[in-house]
Amino acid sequence: MMVRRFIWMLSALLLGVISCDRVLAQDAAYPSKPVRIVVPYPPGAFNDTLGRLVANKLSAAWNVPVVVENKPGGGTVIGTQAVATAAPDGYTVLVVQFPFATNLWLYKSLPYDTNSAFSPVLLAGRAPMVLAVNAESPIKSVAQMLEAARAKPGKLNYGSSGPGSSNHLAMALFESVSKTELTQIPYKGSSPMLAGLAGGQVEFAFDALPHIQPFIEAGKARALAIASATRSPLMPELLTFAESGMPNFKVSSWHGFVVPAGTPQAVIDKLNGELNSILKMPDVQEIFRREGVVIDGGTPGFFREFIATEMEMWKNVILQNHIVIE
């Protein structure tokens, strides 16, 4: 009996070593076939630009095809679900943005668990939100806006890209912090919302700097403040909210990469290293600068903590304001 038990234990140990060697060999060979980057948005915006930029750089570095697949719809849920159910082998990567941290609280149910279905890889960068008014508005500062809003609770309006969008939630947070009450006018997307601001159909709007800057430069909107810790080099004359009397108000639209949970750590680390190297390339940095996105980079652990912080902040905003997407 003792001999049999010893042989069984030795066999199990050898099988474990062989299995471990096999996994290590697979990780070392990664990538050995085409990699798919899923963008849960239509072509054209920065998320798509980021996905294609990274795909081209990874293809050159790895000498394997890296393809972008646009899977828009459902407030990013369709594309996100496709990656949640993909094999956890590093050959399917998801570009994530602001909704990744908010959809869990906005929808009554999701076809995946955001907290357990994904492993963070890297936070690529952040685009700070800008508060703006129509160019013809008499309001020229955050202080004047607060004064007007408090004088007429619920009477002033603002545009959004729809319930639960980043600019809707940014304004909901602004109302909470500033103790004001405004009326939301929802649009089907950022472009028509900004057109409404430029045309005077709405009085205020938040949007990411890359989206709103052309309207400001064209003289169709006036920026009041930027919701970042420091001024933007793209608009150095624009005050931060801290400089405008609201020191704790910081909101950014952000961009990053995740993979299905269970992806080997060695694969995640290799992806992270390659992505960090890409973010240091001068041509990539110029594209980010031009798009108004501040580069982050860093470790998977840093991105995990960032996502957790975003989730907690927006959970409070969404639940306190009873914001739900059916």
Rounded to whole angstroms, the Cα distance separating 299 from 306 reads 11
In this predicted structure, what is the pLDDT of residue 11?
52
CATH number, domain containing residue 214: 3.40.190.10
Would 238 be classed as within a structural domain?
no
Residues 121 and 132 both lie in one domain? no
- pLDDT, position 326: 73
Predicted pLDDT at 7: 53
The CA distance from 171 to 70, in Å, is 29
Both 61 and 104 in a single domain? Answer: yes
Q: Are residues 266 and 27 in contact, defined by beta-carbon separation less than 8 angstroms?
A: yes
Last residue of a domain, one of 226, 243, 278: 226
pLDDT of residue 230: 92
Closest residue by Cα to residue 185 from 155, 211, 141: 155
pLDDT attached to residue 27: 60
**Other beta carbons within 10 Å of 300:** 20
11 in any annotated domain: no
Token pair 């590093």: residue: 90
Nearest to 128 by CA among 211, 216, 41: 211
Query: How far is the C-alpha of 205 from the C-alpha of 171, rounded, in Å?
Result: 8
* pLDDT for residue 17: 43
pLDDT score at 210: 82
pLDDT of residue 254: 95
Residues 114 and 52 in one domain: yes
Instruction: Select from 169, 295, 144, 125 the least CA-distant residue to 225.
Output: 144
> Do 113 and 153 have their domain in common?
no
Asked whether residue 263 is domain-assigned, the answer is yes
Rounded to 5 degrees, φ, ψ at 234 are: -75, -30
Cis peptide before 31 (omega within 30 of 0): yes
Please report whether residue 316 resides in a domain: yes
* Sequential pLDDT tens for the chain (326 residues): 554 554 545 454 444 444 444 444 456 789 999 999 999 999 988 899 999 999 999 999 999 999 999 999 998 999 999 999 999 999 999 999 999 999 999 998 999 999 999 999 999 999 999 999 999 999 999 999 999 999 999 999 999 998 999 999 999 999 999 999 999 999 988 889 999 999 999 999 999 988 898 999 999 999 999 999 999 988 999 999 999 999 989 999 999 999 999 999 999 999 999 999 999 999 999 999 988 899 999 999 999 999 999 999 999 999 999 999 87
147 is in which domain, residue-wise?
128-226
What is the rounded distance in angstroms from the CA atom of residue 277 to the CA atom of residue 297? 9
One-letter amino acid for residue 157 of the chain: N
Regarding whether 59 and 207 lie in a shared domain, the answer is no
pLDDT of residue 16: 47
Q: Does any domain span residue 19?
A: no
Verify that 112 and 153 share a domain, yes or no.
Answer: no
The overall pTM is greater than 0.85 = yes
| Residue 237 domain-assigned (yes or no) | no
Domain shared by 143 and 203, yes or no: yes
| Tally of domains in the chain | 2
Alpha-carbon distance of 287 to 217, in angstroms, equals 19
